[in-house]
Structure formats: structure tokens, C-alpha cells
Copies of this chain bind each other. A is one copy, B any other.
Amino acid sequence: MVRAVVFRATPLLFAMASLGPLAAQSGPQSVSRPRPLELGLRIGTFACGEHDAITDVPGVRVGHCTLKEGGGACTGVTVVIPHPGNPFREKVPAAIAVQNGFGKLAGSTQVEELGELETPIALTNTLAVGTVVDALVAWTLAQPGNQEVRSVNAVVGETNDGRLNDIRARFVRDVHVETAIAEARGGAIAGGCVGAGAGTSCLGWKGGIGTSSRRVGDHVIGVLVQTNFGGRLTVLGRELDDPRAAPGEERKEPPADERGSCMIVIATDAPIDARNLRRLAVRSFAGMARTGASFSNGSGDYAIAFCTADALRIRDDGRKTTGGEVLRNDAMSSLFLAVADAVEQAILDSLLRAETTRGNGVVIEAVPVDAVRRAAGR
């Protein structure tokens, strides 16, 4: 079952009464828009996990809260929760790679310095980062066992959905973060125009949330992306024939001023320390490159990787040491391949699942499934 909570957003009122999911929206997503595997599209040679999702990494949950269909809102919040316990009291090894730091990612210096993650990772829109940090802090303070917590490093990423979303109205509120956390679950997860992907666009089409996973030996690596970047959509290396182009129109470079961003979240149960998690995160941009990303000045592209291996959790257990055996540098290469493949597929997933969206007086079309199929030679 795939769930995402959709708020009917209005500029003046975000009543809890509007919390019910809009059946009209989630229905079509799961029915009419295929995921890559349904088109026979699998990037690379590794097998996908059961749900081809970041939630294939045991314990990882994802939740969305979507703000839509009212007063210009077309935005939301997506959270990735590393494990079922208290994230603050069982921190996980983590790292961040910055491809292009034109973004407002919160929490980066502490993750880099301490090599650990202590909150859920939240994604949202550019102007909502402060609010979402605030909400994650409040949520963390309120968790059982956190009564003495006085310092919280909330990790919040963003992309700019200001074309479809009236971003200046700043619709996101604390309650939307709480809802996304409350709705978080494992298994099959919603994608496309949900949560932080509600209002994004990518490679000339409607973007959104995508996910994918790979099995590498005994381990799983999963990724979730919020796609909102420029370039020309390239499927298995072929640029999509754009049915919107005039016949005979000359091929041009993509508009150079595109704002955008791609946020990438990576989870794995392989025992990897923060240093190699950063190296893993770096490789995710190779997958992004292969989808046709232009990596323009305005595209703030970040990857956040964390490790769920129980033996590597950092607990406040009164001991002076932590950690244990970790993968060697030269055991990372398969994972490096897998993460690039999974990111490429997750980006295609976000595009395939996203539907044509109208917002803020603008319409952004969903990518035509047949065009993807043709480009992929399927």
C-alpha cells in the first residue's frame, strides 16, 4: 500500500481536518503511471530490492505530507527515518557530498564533523527550511527519552519548487513535518508528485520523488531523490525525443539559467563508516549525470548517505569507544557502481511517477511514458 498524506492547503488555514488523503490523487499514481521496472528499465547489473525503494534497507521508513490544490500551494515535506528507534539516542554513521552548494541544506557541518545523523532527514522547499528545522527540533525534544536534550542537528534539504508553488506564501508549517513523520512507513512508498516532490520539475518535465534500491552481496543500498534540476532527459543514454519540439527544430543547449536542485538520500545496511559513506555519496552524481543533468550554477545538488548497521550505531552507553569492523576501501567499488545505478533509476522513477501538474498559473507536463519506453528501446 502506498500512502502519502495530502493537505488541501489554503493561505489562511491549515486545519487538521484536511488531513485525509485525497484518493483522487494517489489512485492514478499507482495505476496509470508505471515505475521503471514495469517498463523493463533497470539500470546496471545489480538486482533491485523487493520494492525497488529506499525502504528495502531494513528499518528505513519514508513519509510524505503534500500541500496542494489551494491558494497556490504545490509543495510539501518528505522525511526519511533511518531506523525504528530514537534517532537521537541511536545515531547512525552519515556523510554528505556537495556537488554544487547553491542550496540551503541545514545540518551539513555537523554531519561532516561528527560523521553522524541524529534526526530524520527532511526534504522540503527552499523557503521552508527554517520551519522544517524548527519542527524537527521540536519533534526531537518531544521524543521519549530526550528530556535532557539541549542540542539537535536537524538535517533538512530543499529544492526550489517556485514555479508550480507560490513559494513566497510559505505554506509549510510544523504540522506538516509531524504528519510526514507520523505517516512514515516501510515497504512500497509513494513517489512522483508527493511530499517535497509535489511542485518540482526535472529535465523539462514534471519531477518529484523517486526511489530505487540495489542488492550488493548480502547488503542493500537504497536511494530516494527529490528531482528538480535542468538538462535534457536522457534514458539509457538516449535523449528523449521531445514531442513538444517543433519538427525540424534545431537542438539547443538547455536554458542555462535554470534554477533547481537534486536532493539525494542514500541508505545502506552495509557496515560503512562516515568516510566511505561520503565517498559513496560522491558517486551518486554519476547517476545523475547519466540522466542528462546540466549541473547548472543554480542547481544545488547534495547527497546524504547513512548506514543502518546495528553494530555501528552511536549510542550514549557510557563507553568511550564505538563502532566496529567496517568495509575496507577496496570493498566499496561494487557499492559505488550500485549507488550510481540506483540514483539514475530513482530519477527516472520520479519522472515516470509524476503526473502533469498545474499550479501557480503554470502547467508542467508529465513525461510521456511511451517516449521513455521508445528511448529505452523497450
Listed in ascending order, the chain A residues whose CB lies under 8 Å from chain B are 44-46, 98-110, 112-116, 126-127, 129-138, 141, 149-154, 160, 162, 167-168, 170, 234, 236-239, 251-254, 256-259, 271, 273-275, 279, 282-283, 285-287, 289-290, 293-298, 300, 302, 314, 319-334, 336-337, 340
Asked whether, in the complex, the Cβ of A321 is within 8 Å of the Cβ of B314, the reply is no
A-B contacts besides A150-B162, A238-B238, 4 pairs, CB < 8 Å = A101-B109, A133-B133, A138-B170, A286-B293
Bound form: Cα–Cα A104–B336 in Å: 21
Complex contacts, A295 vs chain B, CB 8 Å: 282-283, 286, 336-337, 340
B259 touching A151, Cβ below 8 Å: yes
Find out whether the CB atom of A252 lies under 8 angstroms from the CB atom of B282. no
Q: Is the CB of B279 within 8 A of A333?
A: no
8 contacts between A and B (CB under 8 A): A108-B108, A110-B300, A126-B151, A141-B168, A150-B162, A237-B237, A237-B239, A286-B289
Taking a contact as CB atoms under 8 Å apart, the answer to whether A331 and B320 are in contact is yes
With contact pairs A129-B133, A333-B294 given, residues A167 and B138 touching in the complex (Cβ less than 8 Å): no
Measured between alpha carbons, how far is A273 from B277 in the docked complex, in Å? 14
- The answer, among B114, B162, B328, for a CB contact under 8 Å with A102, is B114
Q: How long is the Cα–Cα vector from A328 to B116 in the complex, in angstroms?
A: 11
**Interface pair B162/A330, CB less than 8 Å apart:** no
A290: chain B residues within 8 A (beta carbon):
237, 289-290
B100 and A113 within 8 A (CB)? yes
CB-defined contacts of A168 to chain B, threshold 8 Å: 141, 149-150
**Residues in B neighbouring A154, C-beta threshold 8 A:** 104, 130
Cβ 8 A contact of A332, one of B131, B162, B297, B336 = B297
Q: Which residues of B contact A131 (CB under 8 A)?
A: 130, 134
Partner of A256, one of B239, B275, B325, B337: B337
| Closest residue on chain B to residue A160 by CB atoms | B151
Tell me the bound Cα distance from A288 to B324 in angstroms.
Answer: 34
Q: A294 vs B328: C-alpha distance in the bound complex, in angstroms? A: 18
Are B44's CB and A253's CB within 8 A? yes
CA distance A126 to B106 in the complex (A): 13
CB distance from A238 to the nearest CB of B (A): 5
Closest-CB distance, A231 to chain B (whole angstroms): 9
Are A324 and B327 interface neighbours, CB within 8 A? no
Chain B nearest CB from A191 CB (Å) reads 24
Task: Give the chain B neighbours of A329 by CB distance below 8 A.
Answer: 102, 114-116, 297, 314
Cα(A138)–Cα(B319), bound, Å: 44
Whether the Cβ atoms of B150 and A126 lie closer than 8 Å is yes
Highest count of chain B CB atoms <10 Å: which of A115, A138, A283: A283
Nearest chain B CB to A73 CB, angstrom units: 15
Q: A254, A259, A334: which has the most chain B beta carbons within 10 Å?
A: A334
Collect the chain B residues with CB atoms within 8 Å of residue A112's CB: 101
Q: Give the complex CA separation of A249 and B337 in angstroms.
A: 20
